[in-house]
Amino acid sequence: MGRPKKKPGAAAQPELTSIPVAAQPVEAAPQPAPVIEAVEYTPVGESGLWRVERFELLAAEFSTAQHQFDPSLLPALHTFAARYVRGWMICRRLFGIAPVVLPLNGDPDDYRVLGRAELCATLGVEPGQLNAELEALRSALWKPSGRLESDGTVSPSKAIHGSTEPRPTGKGDVAPPLIEEEGALLRRHGFSEVMFTVAGRATTENAAERAAFVDRLRVFEKVLTGPATARLARLVLLGELRLRRNEQRQFALEALRFDDEREERARANELKELVRAAPQLADDYERQLKQLDELAPWWNVTGKTVSFAGCVADMIKGIQEYQRDESTRLIDGIMTAAEVQVELRMSEQAPDPRYRLGLVTYLNLARDGIWDPNWKSEFSVMQLALLDAGFKEAVRRLAEERGMHMPDLEADGPAGEYDEDKAEG
């Protein structure tokens, strides 16, 4: 068929109309977003630098539809999250948050960055539990009643979207009673506010310590109200506080340097005393905590559950590492290659190999039927004995045919071969 003729006066098809090159819109190539891998910052009230190895992951975790987490909020996050002991520990391990200059007596493993799977195995929790703990911290950070401030506080007088206008209050409105509740809790258990006012320390740091102590106080309330456990529980809480202050003071002193020789010597001596006292503080704390567990094993059920789950995780990890090692692979289902080689050794004093083929056969069959209450060996005792004797005789004859050397393990002096044979083994 021929191409249909165009009617005279018909308009050209718009899709075929050519567009001048100059009139065509030119789209700019999309620019990739800058990748921020590691960020350094100085916490509020401190002089030492801290570093976040996985800032992109941290920002993705703590950003919301209303807020974009940026590096300028890191000092505030540090002050805020430090009040939540476990949540702060998870953040430090997951996102690689650590001081740039590590403490001299610090364990490098405590500052190692972990992935989510490894962190779950270390803590003995499921991935869903880990996500729930991070969600709780994120919700507390961007709670609807306020927004994160530069000093790590969440101000209820500012809306989420950043408005600085104060919220209207009516006669029936009451200020959030959080501080009053904490103060009442401290007084009820006999703790003074003065203990959190440390001379020469930033106010925000004092407030962070007080908030962390109150969080632990709520955990210990069950044993603090018992007449038999109250005194020991107080000692455990105060031991935690001393350990925390010791560590923080070490961080602060290690970051300081003085030009004056006298001041520098005083700094070094104080740091030495803190390092010397740390092991004793830790030992006293662990001993008192163990006594509390023995006296009231019911008080920390959640902690014991996590500890048990952590033990199971460590067992699984140990089995995986054992099986990954080629030297532990079972050659015959019962023994490794090295063990079989030892069982095949012969000497003038023991000319027969000790390897028992019948025993290995029986053990493999018994292992396969370990859950069968009616299991019976397919081989009789005589047949298993024949396997033992036949294997030994075959090895002995082959050793004679090949002229295998039989070392003498009892000869003394130069003729003795025990040391040489032992060295070869």
Helices 203-219 and 85-95: angle between axes, nearest 10 degrees: 110
User: According to the model, what pLDDT value does residue 311 have?
Assistant: 67
- For 242-272, b/e burial (b = at least 16 CB within 10 A) is bbbebbbebbbbbbeeeeeeeeeeebeeebe
pLDDT tens-digit series, residues 22-65: 444 555 555 554 545 688 888 877 777 888 988 888 888 888 77
**Two structure tokens written together for 228:** 């038999």
Nearest to 224 by CA among 23, 214, 422: 214
pLDDT of the residue at 222: 81
Residue 139 CB: number of other CB atoms within 10 A?
Answer: 11
- 116 Cβ contact list (under 8 Å, min separation 6): 94, 127, 130
| Alpha-helix residue ranges (DSSP H) falling in 47-163 | 55-62, 74-81, 85-95, 116-123, 127-141
Q: What is the token pair recorded at 70?
A: 């940026």
What are 300-309's contacts with CB under 8 Å, separation 24+? 300/219, 306/123, 306/124, 306/125, 307/124, 308/124, 309/124, 309/125
Encoding tokens for residue 122?
A: 């270390």
- DSSP 8-state symbol, 168: P
| Phi and psi angles of residue 30, each rounded to the nearest 5 degrees, phi first | -65, 135
CA distance 33 to 360: 63
Take residue 330 and report the two structure tokens written for it: 């079972």
Residue 388, phi then psi, degrees to nearest 5: -60, -55
Cα–Cα distance for residue pair 390/388, rounded to 1 Å: 6
For 311-333, the pLDDT digits (tens) are: 666 777 777 777 777 788 888 88
User: Quick check: helix, strand or coil at residue 97?
Assistant: strand
CB 124 within 8 A of CB 308: yes
**Pairing mode, if any, of strands 50-52 and 39-41?**
antiparallel
- pLDDT higher than 70, residue 175: no
Contact yes or no for 81/92 (Cβ under 8 A):
no
Give strand pairing partners of 330. 336
Q: Give Cβ neighbours of residue 413 (< 8 Å, ≥ 6 apart).
A: none
Rounded to whole angstroms, the Cα distance separating 265 from 272 reads: 11
In angstroms, the CA 119 to CA 96 distance is 12
Q: Extract the tokens encoding 325.
A: 């090692």
Other beta carbons less than 10 A from residue 387's beta carbon:
18
DSSP category for residue 336: B
CA distances from 230 to 190, 221, 296, 298 (A): 11, 9, 11, 14
Q: Tell whether the model's pLDDT for residue 170 goes beyond 50.
A: no
pLDDT tens string 87-114: 788 888 889 888 887 766 666 777 788 8
Sign of CA dihedral 221, 223, 228, 232: negative
Phi-psi region of 124 (alpha: psi -120 to 50; beta: other; left: phi over 0): left
The residue-averaged pLDDT of 147-166 equals: 40
**pLDDT tens digit string along 222-260?**
888 888 888 898 999 999 999 988 888 888 888 888 888
Which 3 state secondary structure label does DSSP give 330? Answer: strand
- Which of residues 352 and 44 earns the better pLDDT score? 352
Nearest CA-CA partner of 353 in 393, 407, 385, 384: 393
Residue 355 has pLDDT above 90, yes or no: yes
